[in-house]
Amino acid sequence: MDETGRPEPERSFLRSTAAQTRLHELVPGGAHTYARGSDQYPEGMAPIIVRGEGARVLDLDGNWFVEYGMGLRAVTLGHAYQPVVEAVARGAASGSGFSRPSVWELEAAERFIQMVPGAEMVKFAKNGSDVTTAAVKLARAATGRDLVAVCSSQPFFSIDDWFIGTTAMNAGIPEATRALTVAFEYNNLQSLALLLAQYPNRIAAVIMEPATGTLEPDPGFLEGVRDLADKDGFVLIFDEIICGMRWSSAGAQSVYGVTPDLSTWGKALGNGFSVSALAGKRSLMELGGLNTDASRVFLLSNTHGAEVTGLAAYLSVADAYSERDVVGIMETQGSKLRSALLQVISEEGMSDYITISGRPSALLFATRDKNGRPSQEYRTLFIQELLRNGVLAQSLVISAAHSDDDIDITVVAVAAAAKTYARAIERGTTEGLLAGRSVAPALREFAAPRRLEGPK
C-alpha cells in the first residue's frame, strides 16, 4: 500500500529508463522532438513505446496505456489504423520515389483541392515547419516586405530561425533575423492595427492559428484580420497544422468562414505518417512555379516532398473522413471524457486546482498549486499518478479510436490521481508524493539537471 491507502499498481519502467539513458548518449535531448523528451515526464517514468493499437500504446516494460496527445495531435484515426497502413504498404510496393512526378501526386493534389474549398493550388512536403516557412517566403516575395507578424499567445509555428528566434531557445540565431518577427495578441484587433501603424508597409505576412485547443476566435476577430489584410496588403496565413482534420477536414477556416491567402497543413493529414501541405491562392503559389514573369521563389523543392507513402497515407485518411464523421466522433468522445472527468475532479474537491479546457477534440488539462498558481510540480504529480494507473497523457487530446472503455479507464485513473493531488494540496507541497524532479517547459533557455533513476 502507498501512503494514500491504495494498492500500488504493479508497473515497472526499468527497461524504458535504460533505453532512455542510452538515447541520451546517442541523441541530443534523448528524443527527436523536444515535446517528446524525458523532461516532459516524471523522473524515471518516461515510457519508450514499442507499438500502438487504436488509442493504446505498449512500452518496453510491457505496460499498456490509454494514450492522449496521439502522436503530438497527429493521429486522429488511431494508431496502426489498418486501412491507412494497408494503403501505405500498397504505395510502397509500387516504389517510393521517382525522377518524375507520380500519379500519387496528381491524385493527392486533386483530392486536397476538393477537400479545402478555399485552396486553388497545393504543394506537399514532409513536415509542418517546412510549409510554414515556405508560406512566409511566398508572402515576402509577393509583397516585397520583410517583417512577419506572429500571434504571441500561440506557442509554435516552425523550427526555422524566423520563428524560433522569438522563443527562449534562440541561441545561434542572429539578432538581425530575430528582429524580423514581431507579435500581436489573439482576439485583439487593436494590437495588430498598432503593429501595422508602427511598421507601415513592412509586414509581409500575418501567421496565426485560426483557433487553438483553449482559444476560440471572438465574433468578428478573424473577419477583422481578413479585412486588415485586404486593406494593408499583407498576406494572411492560417496555420492549420493542428486545426486541419481536427476542427474539420476542410480546416478551421471552413468552421469559422474566413478564407486565408495561404494555409499550412500537417499532423493528422497522414494519421501520423509524414506529409504536410502548403495551399492557397494561385497568384501566390505560382510564384514558385513556371507560370510567372516575376522573380521565382524556391518553393518546397526536396527529394522526399512527394514521397509515395505520405501521399498514400493522406489519400487513405481522406477516404476515412469521407466514409464517416471522424471529427464528430472525436467531438462526441471528447465531450463524454470532459464531463466525466470534471465530475470526478469535483468529487475530490479539486475543481479549482485541476482544470480541463478546450475543444472536445483537443482537450488540455492545467494544474495549480494550493495558492492557485500554475504549477509544473503539480503537473508532474498528476502525470505521475495517471501513468501509475494506465494513462499516458501530456494532454487530453483524443482520437476517433478512443472507445467508451478507454474513457472509463481514464476516468478511474483521473479519480485516483485527484485523490493524491488533494493530499498534496492539503499539505501545501508535493514533497513525499512526487517521485523526482518536476517537468519543465520544452522550449526553455537552459537545460535543468536531470537524473534518470527509476521512480521511488
The dihedrals phi and psi of 235, each to the nearest 5 degrees, come to -90, 125
User: Residue 13: exposed, middle, or buried by beta-carbon count in 10 A (0-12, 13-18, 19+)?
Assistant: buried
Give the C-alpha separation, 416 to 277, whole Å: 42
> How open is the CA angle 278-223-120, to the nearest 5 degrees?
30
Q: Tell me the domains of the chain and their CATH numbers.
A: 14-79+326-427 (3.90.1150.10), 97-306 (3.40.640.10)
Q: Are 55 and 334 in contact (CB under 8 A)?
A: no
Grid cell 528524443 is found at 31
Give the C-alpha separation, 345 to 418, whole Å: 6
What is the chain's pLDDT, residue by residue, as a tens digit (456 residues)?
A: 344 444 455 799 999 999 999 999 999 999 998 889 999 999 999 999 999 999 999 999 999 999 999 999 999 999 999 999 999 999 999 999 999 999 999 999 999 999 999 899 999 999 999 999 999 999 999 999 999 999 998 999 999 999 999 999 999 999 999 999 999 999 999 999 999 999 999 999 999 999 998 899 999 999 999 999 999 999 999 999 999 999 999 999 999 999 999 999 999 999 999 999 999 999 999 999 999 999 999 999 999 999 999 999 999 999 999 999 999 999 999 999 999 999 999 999 999 999 999 999 999 999 999 999 999 999 999 999 999 999 999 999 999 999 999 999 999 999 999 999 999 999 999 999 998 899 988 888 888 644 433 333
Cell of 12: 515497472
Grid cell 485518411 is found at 317
Give the C-alpha separation, 323 to 95, whole Å: 27
Give the C-alpha separation, 257 to 118, whole Å: 10
Contacts 24+ apart (CB under 8 A), 407-410: 407/333, 407/336, 407/337, 407/340, 409/66, 410/66, 410/68, 410/337, 410/341
